[in-house]
Amino acid sequence: MDTRLMRGVRPLVSALLLPLLALACGRSPGAHEAAPLSVRVAEVVESRVPRGVPAVGAVEPIRRASPASKLMGSVVAASFEEGARVDSGQVLLRIDDRDLAARRAQLEARLAEAQVLLADAETNLTRMRALDSEQAIAGIQLEQAQTGRTRAAAGLEAARAALRELDANASYGTVTAPFAGEIVRKNVQVGDVAAPGVPLFVLEDLSRIRIVASVGEAAAARLRVGARVPVEIEAALVRTVGVVEAVVPASRPPVTGFHVNVVLSRPSQAVISGMTATVLVPSDDPDVGAGTRLLVPRNALVRRGQMTGVFLVDGTTARLRWVRAGLEEDDAVEVLSGLKAGDRVVVGAGDSLTDGQRITVGPAGR
């Protein structure tokens, strides 16, 4: 074979054989081992469930308002919807007050008339006093002039008061939020007629909430104002701690029963008024046993669609383990299945990890 042809074939053969050799060895050409990812880990801990008797109640807002109009008129603007978050002083609703403008014109005319009448009465009184000093009029004429001036002054003040009242009523044509909160009910739409005393919307401030739970006499006797008690709001998957605000009779004697009011900061945006909540009332009854639960840091959970899992540390490898999460408690989440105490899980990894990825363990964290 031609030597020049052989020189051209050898590189081609080499180019074809190298990938085959790489595949035979189980590696793609040019592949390199990915560097291990440094991660923080935390242990799955076993936490004691406090001993206590559950008292069931409901979530209420600390502040709730139902503003109403003092005017009768058509709603011309209602720039809010149920579920909206509003700021204190934010304009939410306007009522047509054009009839007040016509009324203002009438009152301003009456005010101008009252001012003229007072000026005439004062001029007449001045003249009567001068004539009286010269004994040119009867005393009753001076008295009548003084009375006329007093009446004119009263008429002017009445006109001014009516104008002030009108201005106050006109201010009711604009309805603002009395405090920052969430609109939970909208009772009017544009075009509806607002009537005095009829609520326009319901506003709740849920930055702090109150749990009102029914308790028996024995439980009420163990509760003290200021005591810290566990609270569970299962629908929102929340377990937290509240402070006893008051223990009050639920009804009048001879019917017995008490309510305990527990206040706390809103633990989650998922918590809304009306949700069922359970207050754990401390108990010394040995039959009321304490349990345990497993907790992982909140930032150890990863979500893939509707599934919840954690990355379990398996030597130098991260293994995705699906779990069933329970109630939240501060920065921790209860794990109902899938883990055991002492397991190590990756925290704060987010979407940077994949199942089976190599890792190195950095400083521990939560």
pLDDT in tens, 327-347: 777 788 888 888 999 999 999
Question: In this model, does residue 30 exceed pLDDT 50?
Answer: no
Question: In this model, does residue 88 exceed pLDDT 90?
Answer: yes
Least trusted range by pLDDT, from 125-134, 199-208, 294-303: 125-134
What is the pTM for the complete model shown?
0.57
Percent of all residues in the chain with a pLDDT value above 70, rounded to a whole number: 83
Q: What is the pLDDT of residue 43?
A: 92
Pick left, alpha or beta for residue 315 (phi over 0 → left; psi -120 to 50 → alpha; otherwise beta). left
Half-sphere exposure of 211 (CA within 13 A, CB side): 33
The band of 204, judged by pLDDT with boundaries at 50, 70 and 90, is very high
CA 282, CA 244: separation in Å to the nearest integer?
A: 12
The band of 313, judged by pLDDT with boundaries at 50, 70 and 90, is very high
CA 327, CA 333: separation in Å to the nearest integer?
A: 6
What is the identity of the amino acid at 123? T
pLDDT in tens, 227-271: 988 898 988 888 888 999 999 887 766 656 889 999 999 988 889
Q: What is the pLDDT of residue 290?
A: 60
Is the peptide bond preceding residue 254 cis, with omega within 30 degrees of 0? Answer: yes
Q: What is the pLDDT of the chain when averaged over all its residues?
A: 82
CA 232, CA 238: separation in Å to the nearest integer?
A: 6
Q: Count Cβ neighbours within 10 Å for each residue of 216-225 and write b for 16 or more, e otherwise.
A: eeebbeebee
The mean pLDDT of 166-179, rounded to a whole number, is: 79
CA 71, CA 135: separation in Å to the nearest integer?
A: 56
pLDDT in tens, 136-172: 788 788 888 889 889 989 988 988 888 787 776 666 7
The band of 103, judged by pLDDT with boundaries at 50, 70 and 90, is confident
Residues 6+ apart with CB under 8 A from 355: 311, 318, 319, 320
Question: In this model, does residue 100 exceed pLDDT 70?
Answer: no
The band of 284, judged by pLDDT with boundaries at 50, 70 and 90, is low
What DSSP letter does each residue of 253-293 carry, written as one string?
Answer: TTS--EEEEEEEE---TT--TT-EEEEEEE---TTS---EE
Strand order in the sheet with 193-194: 174-176, 91-95, 73-78, 193-194
SS3 for 169-210, per residue?
A: HHHCCEEECCCCEEEEEECCCCCCEECECCECEEEEEEEEEE
pLDDT in tens, 120-145: 888 988 888 888 888 878 878 888 88
Whole-number CA gyration radius for the chain: 40
The mean pLDDT of 346-351, rounded to a whole number, is: 84
Largest CA distance in the chain: 157
The band of 15, judged by pLDDT with boundaries at 50, 70 and 90, is very low
What DSSP letter does each residue of 108-176 carry, written as one string?
Answer: HHHHHHHHHHHHHHHHHHHHHHHHHHTT-S-HHHHHHHHHHHHHHHHHHHHHHHHHHHHHHHHHTTEEE
CA 229, CA 278: separation in Å to the nearest integer?
A: 10
Domains and CATH numbers, the chain: 37-48+292-361 (2.40.420.20), 52-62+205-282 (2.40.30.170), 67-95+173-199 (2.40.50.100), 98-171 (1.10.287.470)
Count CB atoms within 10 A of the CB of residue 175: 24
* 283 touches 244 (CB < 8 A): no
Q: What is the pLDDT of residue 208?
A: 94
Q: Which is higher by pLDDT, 311 or 305?
A: 311
Q: Which of 276, 268, 332 is nearest to 300 (CA)?
A: 332
The mean pLDDT of 70-95, rounded to a whole number, is: 89
Q: What is the pLDDT of residue 28?
A: 42
Out of 64-68, 165-169, 250-254, 292-296, the most confident range is: 64-68
Q: What is the pLDDT of residue 29?
A: 43
How far separated are the first and last CA of the chain, in Å rounded? 72
